[in-house]
Structure 1
């Protein structure tokens, strides 16, 4: 017993110094061929009112036949990793910390990890400022040379250079959005929706490049705009596109987006009025032209809800959106003619406050992170109809909000 305690104390000391990753008492991930699922969320280190029940980045092994998730280990040496993503080659994992006390400027942070290609184990490389307070989303630019960060409270987009070893440098650019004050609610709310979105100023909620990598787009939920920039790959600087942004319905709070596989259609999810705006995208100029708006809840729904996440199925035939408060998953069929959407089903997520969703690498299952239920639920996808069949697997995770999968 004393030997075990001494070894644990040694590991804790090494982890604090950055020498080894801090993990739970479970065994290291064995080197076998399988699918791993990394889940992040909120823990005790968070701004006032933002703390959660998570411990860090939890790792699970996926049962490829049933969709069940088996606990493996937890990396605890990170504050509130509410969004994580991987590099295209699966060599590195990047996790933001949704905090405002990383430095004297009250910024959040982004931590870089290397991924062992055989075991999937994470090793911390470094952590840098996100370029603003309380980041909410990050992505790797298609060039593989930058991590893009959306700073929600900071109202900014940060560009972080990726070094040769996968670690991150200080921001090469931080762009702050400005605009007029918007209303808390949109005019086209679902009936009886009392939920509001914060429109006190700029609140960037997602940032990512288009499929070509030529442009960078960001949803600003506070200003009700979608911004478009060109990224100078050599300098890491953002330059406004010819049309630098489009205005959406005041109060609608654009939150996340997903591109069609050919990059010519973008599906923009608005949080406050729970609508999807379908827009054409010109990959040459970055111009956005809205062509349709469709609800994420059926005409029968009444009450409070806030939309959260949107995904395009790997085959490009269906779009899925999650509704917090309403606790449902919307299933849309994509028109093969023009990419417009038809709502074909609204499915109970079997838990409370579903946020992020993610497909497993095979596209067989859809997973939903249910923040207030401290659980993950999963659904088997009908590849022909897009229908979701609940697997009856509940995975206990404290305040989950984000996923990343690794096939090894």
Structure 2
């Protein structure tokens, strides 16, 4: 084997730096640059299959220019409106409103493998969602259970995540019963299932019967184990989506029909909810004959809460009191489009993406470090009937 004695020598008496050390110093900035170039940010966009939408859009996003390019579109079934990323970042689950065949009145749950290094999707399997019109899908923190909510069916189901990311047939299925006082509440309308931070519970929001429900989760079986604890909300409010504070024992429910946010204390021992207050979402300076709250998320640091409204087409921005969990309205930010459905708070805490369904765009905002009120970048991504945004960082 050849040897290179100069590698252990020094470069003359003028500098006395070992060549090996010099090479390391010279390589360091190059390595960082190379890493920055190879790091990729992927956005997954769920849509309705209208206006020539091509289903799930897989985008590579460049945050230096706020631009994106389409890597892939996936349209295995109609209306992949909601998506859920596995905690490992290796799999994506989609709730399609179309059934497995033309005679199937239920929806379909599809499992996709995410290609390492590219973010592209490949179908692993699909199963019946077990209910009509699935509108929300989520994964528990362990990555062992998938939860699906059905708006038209007024029911919910759970699925076991199998080896290699495949999803089982439905393990649990629960049909809700009842109604409430609003014209849109003649029957149950399940809207979302949000797992607790420890994965022991899942919180179900049923818009049709004005209830938040807490189910116990068996992560080994992928099942719901108990009759739920039921937490009634104000009649006619219509709970839609739900978010848990990442550190504090508080949770927040966006109420679609009353355009309000419910503020809850969370019992650290059993996960029970206690209503603390409710706060209005609408701006008194704006008027719209139609208003319907949609989505709700916290900032990464937990200091700010955002809720989207369809009608006024804005985000209500609240500061979170870190001692009480209560909210202080800071203002309203126009979403840069029409009919904002879901939105995504950037995992780095720097950006916010809003899916405006009726204006066919995903609008990009920055979140300043010193305050949590989103600021428009003037940039958007054209996506027909955009409904949902998910984000994945790949090195």
Q: When the two structures are superposed, what TM-score results if normalisation uses the length of structure 2?
A: 0.86
Q: Does residue 245 of structure 2 align to residue 260 of structure 1?
A: yes
Separation of aligned partners in 2, 1:103 and 1:280:
45
Shift of 1:71: 2.7
Q: Give CA-to-partner distance per residue, 1:217-236, whole Å, 9 cap, x none.
A: 11001111101111123333
Separation of aligned partners in 2, 1:402 and 1:278:
24
Match of 1:223, SS?
coil
Separation of aligned partners in 1, 2:220 and 2:60:
39
Match of 1:356, SS?
strand
Separation of aligned partners in 1, 2:166 and 2:326:
40
Shift of 1:404: 1.3
Shift of 1:247: 1.1
The size of the alignment, in residue pairs, is 357
Q: Is the 8 A contact 1:228 1:240 kept in 2?
A: no
For the aligned residue pairs, the C-alpha RMSD in angstroms reads: 1.7
Q: Is the 8 A contact 2:157 2:172 kept in 1?
A: yes
1:208 to 189, 194, 200: 194
Q: Is the 8 A contact 2:188 2:208 kept in 1?
A: yes
Separation of aligned partners in 2, 1:268 and 1:109:
27
Instruction: Trace 1:254-293 onto structure 2 (pairs within 5 A).
Output: 254-262=239-247, 264-293=249-278
Match of 1:82, SS?
strand
1:296 to 281, 291, 313: 281
Q: Give CA-to-partner distance per residue, 1:269-313, whole Å, 9 cap, x none.
A: 000111000001113222110101111122333332111010000
Aligned residue number for residue 159 of structure 2: 160
Aligned residue number for residue 232 of structure 2: 247
2:46 to 25, 40, 49: 40
Match of 1:171, SS?
strand
Mark the CA change 1:317 to 1:102 in structure 2 (over 3 Å): closer, same or farther. Answer: farther
Shift of 1:367: 0.4
- Large movers: runs of 4+ above 6 Å: none
Q: Is the 8 A contact 1:91 1:116 kept in 2?
A: yes
Match of 1:316, SS?
coil
Separation of aligned partners in 1, 2:306 and 2:125:
34
Shift of 1:33: 2.2
Shift of 1:102: 4.4
Separation of aligned partners in 2, 1:282 and 1:52:
45
Structure with higher Rg: it is 2
Instruction: Trace 1:352-367 onto structure 2 (pairs within 5 A).
Output: 352-367=338-353
Shift of 1:103: 6.9
Separation of aligned partners in 1, 2:300 and 2:147:
23
Q: Is the 8 A contact 1:102 1:129 kept in 2?
A: no
Q: Give CA-to-partner distance per residue, 1:155-188, whole Å, 9 cap, x none.
A: 1111111111101110111011112x21226xxx
Shift of 1:361: 3.0
Shift of 1:372: 0.3
Q: Which moved more, 1:98-107 or 1:59-68?
A: 98-107
Aligned residue number for residue 173 of structure 1: 172
Q: Is the 8 A contact 2:196 2:202 kept in 1?
A: yes
Q: When the two structures are superposed, what TM-score results if normalisation uses the length of structure 1?
A: 0.84
Aligned residue number for residue 83 of structure 2: 84
Separation of aligned partners in 2, 1:215 and 1:42:
30
Separation of aligned partners in 2, 1:228 and 1:278:
16
